[in-house]
């Protein structure tokens, strides 16, 4: 059921209640969480101008997207477990 390798969330998501249960589910499934600074920055990592609140990195998924997130400045990323 869980194919994700990690979950990427935007720290400036509002209201946060949209994904309030997601952190618990990630911890429960030992799934790493990566927080980026903004919904706009996460959207740009996807190559779109739309805001993106949350996404997951999936086994066999688009490795270009993960490379874009990994390439972001450390100032824009906070990693959680």
Domain range annotation of the chain: 6-79
Per-residue pLDDT tens over the stretch 7-19: 888 888 888 777 8
57/22: higher pLDDT = 22
Beta partners for residue 35, in sequence order: 9, 78
SS3 62: coil
45 is written with which tokens?
């990592």
Question: Is 60 exceeded by the pLDDT of residue 49?
Answer: yes
Q: Looking at the domain covering 6-79, what would its CATH class be?
A: alpha beta
Rg (the chain; Cα; Å): 12
What residues pair up with 10 in beta bridges, in sequence order?
A: 36
45, pLDDT greater than 80: yes
Q: Residue 9's CB: how many other CB atoms inside 10 A?
A: 24
76 neighbors 9 (Cβ within 8 angstroms): no
What pLDDT, on the 0 to 100 scale, is given for residue 1?
A: 46
Considering the chain, what is the average pLDDT of its residues? 76
% pLDDT > 70, the chain: 69
Q: Is the pTM of this model over 0.75?
A: no
């Amino acid at each position: 059921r869980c194919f994700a390798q990690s979950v990427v969330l935007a720290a400036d998501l509002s209201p946060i209640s949209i994904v309030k249960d997601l952190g618990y589910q990630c911890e429960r499934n030992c799934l790493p969480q990566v927080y980026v600074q903004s919904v706009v920055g996460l959207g740009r990592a996807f190559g779109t101008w739309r805001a993106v609140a949350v996404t997951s990195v999936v086994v066999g998924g688009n490795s270009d997207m993960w490379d874009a997130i990994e390439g972001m400045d450390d100032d824009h990323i906070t990693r959680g477990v």
